[in-house]
Structure 1
Amino acid sequence: MRTAHFAVRTCFRVLKRLLIIALAVFNVLLFSGCSILLTSLGRMDDDEKPFDYLNDCFLRDFAVIVSAVKNEQYDDAISLSWIKSADADGGYVDFYCGGSGFGSQTNYTGFFFTPDDDPLAMWRKSGPDLTSCFVETKDGWEYREHDHNPGGDNVFIVKKLAPCYYYYYLHY
């Protein structure tokens, strides 16, 4: 009887130690930035809009967006639940749709209108001109900083939604 009691107590001690170790490992992952990886395996952040979702919303609300661009009045577009803001500086109109992350795990998504149907207008008309670094892909255009700067992790993806309208995904 005494041996059985000792075995049960030993088993509980081992389980308790394993639980403490598991919690310690979880906390290390949580606070080291790996939580982004762990949560992204389960679901996508509500603010991080993938192409298919934005494309569906864009097609559904196309008339509102075209009217906003034509009249240079963006309140109706911003009132759509999936568009957070609109900025018309720089020769194109940027419709920001969401973002998430922190530090080197920051993502932004949205779309832009460019009157000259320039898929790289966002990069040609603001900040450093990175257009020569973009590569045309079967789905659009892509810039991967590590191709030009070994330590870089920025990624920019552009896909055409309609004539003069382009989806963007920015990862910093």
Structure 2
Amino acid sequence: MADVIAVHGDLTEQRVDAIVNAANNAMRGGGGVDGAIHRAGGPVILRDCVARFPYGLATGDAGWTTAGDLPAAWVIHTVGPNFTAGERDRSLLISCYRRALAVADELAVRTIAFPLVSAGVYGWPLDDAIAVAIDTLMDADTRVVQASIVARDAAIFDEVATAIAARTGGDQP
């Protein structure tokens, strides 16, 4: 079971073993978190995506690539459900976190940083996106030691930190 913490900052600047990318099914870059990771990591990430995922990746699944110029060693890509487009099966969002942790375990990752998968342009309701992230990460059987939920927005960071404190019965670790 990993310690779960909230971090206010930029996902692409996290000094962890792996960062998680909220990718699209095509695995060819995109907007939001996906675009930021590809821009900061450089073209090697896209080349690795094309080579490793020639047919893309299914919603709820995860896979890894190199991290290029990012401080992390790995990018674990996961495809969240697009709530706005009608993909509202909560089990797919839970699967994103579980599969990302399974891939992390395969890579011997000990520290990992997540965005709130599907909570941006995919429109998953923020309170539920936070609950799914925290509950799934805290309940997981994993060798990951620390999982960070990274928020650029101060208000969202506060919501994540408050939810972690409520779940743990105190301040976040």
Q: Is the pair's TM-score, using the shorter chain for normalization, greater than 0.5?
A: no
Q: TM-score, normalised by structure 2?
A: 0.24
Q: TM-score, normalised by structure 1?
A: 0.25
Bigger CA radius of gyration: 1
